[in-house]
Amino acid sequence: MGSVAIGAGHPVAVQSMTDRNTNDTEACIAQTGRIRQAGGRIVRLTTQGLREAESMRIIAAEVRRRWPDTALVADVHFVPQVADAVAAFADKVRINPGNYNDRGGSFEALLEKCRRSGAALRIGVNHGSLSPKMVGLYGDTPEGMVESAMEYLRICRREGFDRVVISMKSSNTRVMVHAYRMLVAAMHLEGMDYPLHLGVTEAGSGLEGRIKSAVGIGALLADGVGDTIRVSLTEPPENEIPAAQAITAHFAAATASEGTFRRGQEALREPFAYSRRLTASVGRIGGDNPPLLRSELLADEADALHDGRIAVIEAVGPHPVEEWREAIVRMDAAGDRRPVILKRTYPSCDRTELAMQAAADFGVMFIDGLADGIWIESAAGTPQADTDSIALDILQASRARMSKTEFISCPGCGRTLYALQDTLAVVKERLSHLKGLKIAVMGCIVNGPGEMADADYGYVGAAPGRITLYRGKEPVRRNIPQEDALDALIALLRSDGRWTEPE
């Protein structure tokens, strides 16, 4: 992509996306500069129309003058003619098969334009925006996501175009991980080896958003899968870069001398769908019980820990996922069905660094249903209340145990129709006490209704200053003035019996 290379032996690259209106060229140029200063050499801008495509031409010329080592990506959704236009000057064009292939235009013609200009292409599949054809054939599933990508990859191969990157994003980390694994397997069967762009969509903000991204992205990097990543946060986009760098650095340090963590994968009896490992039930742990924290184990099951009815597997080397998997394989081979507690000690005293490293290590084990408890230790003396809070966030992000409200929020882009970051903060303040609910806060209707498909309720920008409320995938109140929208959402929760007063 321009001067930036990914795939093969290149380090995993980090990237971000501007959240300003693309027609505000000065704001986008300034934001691109802040992303580049933070260390992101790949920057994406939304180009939803031909006017935005022309604005991006202006932005690209200035960015190349100021920061020639930066690659610019045009994010195209509904209009193939826009993809054709930006292919002449973008370093990469991103299309979404789910809302591209039924809008006219020729994919083969786009490939030829990219070939002539030297532009790369990202086939960006989103869980919530599959084409009607794919939903009809496969449902809203990882299988549908994979086939959507493979349909386009087969055309790329037939046309001899290989400057292609693929992403398989979802706000549900299980869906995301399973979709990427399926894609890798499908490409392998057909002799393809295109690089992969990893990311968890609508991860949210703050520590929770960073943990959720580290769980999903880390689950794949742990197996050597992934060539470029984006941590999508509802924050200024330059904040995404250090979060992404923390994840890549964690795995770069672990794999510097020994390669990837492929051993022990025989522990994955079903790598493409969730399957909980069968264990005996000891008190509140194991069996069908939700995973427990260290403090809960010490309070309730200390005797079982001491007498060996519960297995504690502590990873001490640079490859914890490999260690844990191999230990579980040995237990299964011996018919050992004790509940498993995973343990690891981290040296960091920084709460965010500790959380992201632990999420990148532990998350995949719970996505795969291989453990019954989580034990995070800090050599720096981090209070147990903090490590327990981090552990709960890891379990929630991996869909193993829901203990509080989950906020699914997009990072914002040039299509956002209201002050997304400020609004999310207010929504969190009012609704964080509702345990077990998933609330989506989305900037616009382009990806909003699809990408929040996993949410119970949605707050979606419909027009400037106007919000549409969703129950699941169905809109229930349209075009509410924004000043009234949060109260209207609370009223909807009350009418559905989902509201409780904060304590």
Q: What is the DSSP letter of 200?
A: B
Residue 44's beta-bridge partner residues? 17, 73
Helix (H), strand (E) at residue 164 = strand 164-169
Q: Are 257 and 43 in contact (CB under 8 A)?
A: no
CA–chain centroid gap for 158, Å, is: 30
Per-residue DSSP letter, 237: G
- The response to whether 444 counts as a known ligand-binding position is yes
Q: Regarding beta strands 466-471 and 474-481, do their DSSP bridges make them parallel or antiparallel, or are they unpaired?
A: antiparallel
Q: What span, in angstroms and rounded, lies between the C-alpha atoms of 412 and 78?
A: 18
Instruction: Count other Cβ atoms within 10 Å, centred on residue 453.
Output: 22
User: Distance between CA atoms of 229 and 270, rounded to whole angstroms?
Assistant: 25
Q: Which residue shows structure tokens 């690089």?
A: 195
| H or E segment to which residue 108 belongs | helix 107-117
CB 227 within 8 A of CB 12: yes
Please tell me the distance from the alpha carbon of residue 287 to that of residue 284, in angstroms, as a whole number. 9
28 is in an annotated binding site: no
Q: Which of 419, 466, 448 is nearest to 236 (CA)?
A: 419
Is 471 strand, coil or helix?
strand
Distance, in Å, from the CA atom of 371 to the CA atom of 462, rounded to the nearest integer, reads 42
The answer to whether 349 is annotated as binding is no
Placement of tokens 């949210």 in the chain: 204
- Alpha helix locations (H) across 16-87? 25-38, 50-66, 80-86
Q: Give the single-character DSSP code of 203.
A: B
On whether 413 is known to bind a ligand per the annotation, the reply is: yes
Return all residues near 4 (Cβ < 8 A) that are at least 6 apart.
13, 41, 42, 69, 70, 71, 91
| H-assigned helices in 280-438 | 294-300, 302-307, 320-333, 351-367, 384-397, 420-431
CB 128 within 8 A of CB 451: yes
The 3-state DSSP composition of the chain as helix, strand, coil percent (nearest 5) reads 45, 20, 40
Q: Please report, in range form, the residues annotated as the binding site.
A: 410, 413, 444, 451
Q: Please report, in range form, the residues annotated as the binding site for [4Fe-4S] cluster.
A: 410, 413, 444, 451
